Amino acid sequence: MPVTRITLGAVNMEAADPASLAAFWAAVTGSTPAGAEGAFYLPPAEPDGFAMFFQPMTEERPERATMHLDLTVPWGERVGEVERLEELGATRRWDVLDEHPHVQWTTMADPEGNLFCVAEHPPSA
């Protein structure tokens, strides 16, 4: 049986303040949020980008997230992007710079504490 091509439709998140969190991620991705009745949608900002959807929390946030976003920037741009995201309200949590030769990353938290990483991969030799 042939495998159907699967693509990522959207990342869906519950938020204590969906409007504020959507605004943060809109600034991160360069998208423009559209909202109605407390829920907000961010379309992909680029043809190969990803969409996001924010809705009100229905119960308490779990203590440990079981999934997070890994965002990738070109080699040499991670530090500048991390600084830009801090200015937008993200918090730097830790850096992993020499654990793996094929990637360096900074783990961050968005304004509601959701973890995400900003990674860069060295150019191929």
**For residue range 27-68, what is the model confidence (pLDDT) as tens digits?**
999 999 998 788 999 999 998 889 999 999 888 877 777 678
Residues ≥6 apart with Cβ < 8 Å to 74: 120
Please give the single-letter amino acid code of residue 54.
Answer: F
Place 96 in a pLDDT band, splitting at 50, 70 and 90. Answer: very high
- In order of their start, the domains of the chain are 7-57 (3.30.720), 67-125 (3.10.180.10)
Give the CA count within 13 Å in the CB-facing half-sphere of 50.
14
Q: What is the DSSP string of 27-66?
A: HHHT---EEETTEEEE--SSTT---EEEEE-SSPPPSS-S
Asked whether 42 and 83 are in contact (CB, 8 A), the reply is no
Predicted local distance difference test score (pLDDT) of residue 48: 87
